[in-house]
Structure 1
Amino acid sequence: MNILAWAILGIVAGAIAKLIYPGRQGGGILSTMILGIVGAFLGGSLFTLLTQGTISLTAAGFSLPGLIVAVIGAMIAIFLWGLVTRSAA
């Protein structure tokens, strides 16, 4: 998957995750895209770990199941980012 597809998947997954995730998350389109891309990698890596039993840095594919995995990963990334920024404040 090339970087443009990752960016598109990141924007879509990050936006959906921010809509689903409870509470208020700050940030604009750039933070949404970054959290979405991180979520796509996180979700893809966790999915690979659960299905194949190996740890590898893979992104979710550009498909409906890949989008679902990326959204779940983005929600995990939003949660972790909230923990980091809340403890620093």
Structure 2
Amino acid sequence: MLGTIIGAIIVGAIIGALGRLLLPGKQNISLVVTILIGIVANLIVGWGLYFLFGYNNNNGGIAWIGILIGAIVAALLIVLYGRMRGGSRTV
């Protein structure tokens, strides 16, 4: 259980960071928000890939397609978060 939580935090941080790298300029969000957005993006993509295509990563290894799509979803969530906060950051 603890390993799953730590794994979600690490993958969330990676996906959130990749999402921020996809966006030009500086995003005014904290590391915690970046990780949370990455976790949410990873969950959305994981569920979406499973329900739409039956894709899962039970074979082990790294789910590269999930990480790449997750980074795109995270970038979209970062933009939405910035607009909901009403910050000066617009894309």
- The two structures have a TM-score, normalised by structure 1, of 0.69
Q: Report the CA distance between 1:33 and its aligned residue.
A: 0.6
Q: Which ranges of structure 2 fall in alignment gaps of 5 or more residues?
A: 55-60
Report how many residues are paired.
79
Amino acid at match of 1:77: L
Change (3 A) 1:27 1:47: same
Provide, for residues 39-75 of structure 1, a one-character-per-residue CA deviation record: whole Å limited to 9, x for no partner: 11122233334425xxxxxxxx952222113212211
Correspondences of 1:1-89 after superposition (within 5 Å): 2-52=4-54, 62-86=62-86
Q: Which ranges of structure 1 fall in alignment gaps of 5 or more residues?
A: 53-60
Q: Which has the higher contact order (CA 8 A, sep 6+)?
A: 2
Moved over 3 A (4+): none
Q: Report the CA distance between 1:84 and its aligned residue.
A: 1.3
Amino acid at match of 2:72: I
What SS does the aligned partner of 1:2 have? Answer: helix
Alpha-carbon RMSD across the aligned residues, in angstroms, is 2.4
Structure 2: distance between partners of 1:41 and 1:78? 15
Change (3 A) 1:73 1:45: farther
Structure possessing the higher radius of gyration over alpha carbons: 2
CA contact (8 A) 2:22 2:72 kept: no
Identical residues among aligned pairs (%): 28
What SS does the aligned partner of 1:26 have? Answer: coil
Structure 2: distance between partners of 1:9 and 1:62? 11
Structure 2: distance between partners of 1:70 and 1:37? 9
